[in-house]
Structure 1
Amino acid sequence: MMPSTVGEVESTVRALEDARYAAVIAGDVDAFTAYAHPDLAYTHSNGVTDTLESYQDKLRSGFYVYHHIEHPVDRILVAGDTAVVVGEMHADITAGGTRKTLANRAMAVWVRQDGRWLLLAYQPTVLPEPPR
């Protein structure tokens, strides 16, 4: 049975967020793909946007290696068959051979299609440097 209340949808989407981040940390491209919409628009904090296929290729080739990710969620907005996750994403990654620490605000868009919630879009924004 599909979650029907806002609270049930929030719980489901929160668990899916945890699972998709766990999949990329584990380097499990197939598991990540199971959570992704075929039309995925995955934008990175440097402004590059990948399709599902190009992101899969980058994960498989080791272009992106996720060492650690924390992703606190501020809120989940639910409107019909769409859920928008608003929060942050802090990560230790290797991108294109360069080790990086990321500190981002992030927005993820999940849609319910054919009875399943799928990640349709992701957009991080670099947090400003704290004042000195």
Structure 2
Amino acid sequence: MKLIVLTLVVFCSLVAVTTNSVAQSKDQTAVSQAVEHLRLLMISPDKAKLEAIAADDLSYGHSSGKIEDKAAFVEALTSGTSDFVSIELVDQTITVVDNTALVRHKLMGETLDKGKPGQVKLSVLLVWIKQKGNWKLLARQAVKI
């Protein structure tokens, strides 16, 4: 009898771990897709799509120390104040805990801010939250590298 109970406990534990790993992988994939969507929107901004991907309480931190809310973030990209010509993301990691995801990566890009060409090399932390089944950018902080 003890052997049967022990076998059931081990089996249930394995099923729980496997189910959690599959769910985590599914969320990690969805977050990765959201990050890629954001990357493309930062190069070719679309106001409606930027507003849709950002949480209402967005806190967007630049490497200069400047902090933007959702409206300022969208305006900077759509007005050309912050103009990315290209963005490459490397060394990305994604950690999902419940409905929150932490994404870290290095961002290398070419800019044309206010018509002035430049280059950026940043280490970035993104915080995403899952709202109504969609991953939304809640916070971002960058530092120069």
Larger proportion of strand: 1
TM-score of the pair, normalised by structure 2? 0.80
Q: Which ranges of 4 or more aligned residues in structure 1 deviate by more than 4 Å?
A: none
Distance in 1, Cα, partners of 2:102 & 2:125: 7
How many percent of aligned residue pairs carry the same amino acid?
25
Aligned 8 A contact 1:88 1:106 in 2: yes
Larger proportion of helix: 2
Distance in 1, Cα, partners of 2:46 & 2:108: 20
Which amino acid letter does the alignment assign opposite residue 85 of structure 2? H
Distance in 2, Cα, partners of 1:16 & 1:122: 14
Partner residue in 2 for 1:42:
60
Partner residue in 2 for 1:130:
none
Please list the CA deviations of residues 58-117 of structure 1 after superposition, one character each: whole Å capped at 9, or x if unmatched: 222211111000112431111111000011111111224432200011110000112221
Matched residue of 1:64: which SS? coil
Any unmatched runs of 5+ in structure 1? 128-132
Aligned 8 A contact 1:23 1:29 in 2: no
Distance in 2, Cα, partners of 1:72 & 1:12: 18
Partner residue in 2 for 1:26:
44
Distance in 2, Cα, partners of 1:97 & 1:46: 19
Larger-gyration structure (1/2): 2
Superposed counterparts of 1:86-97, under 5 Å: 86-97=104-115
Task: Specify which of 102, 108, 114 is matched with residue 84 of structure 1.
Answer: 102
Distance 1:96 1:43, change over 3 A: farther
Any unmatched runs of 5+ in structure 2? 1-21
Distance in 1, Cα, partners of 2:112 & 2:97: 35
Matched residue of 1:46: which SS? coil
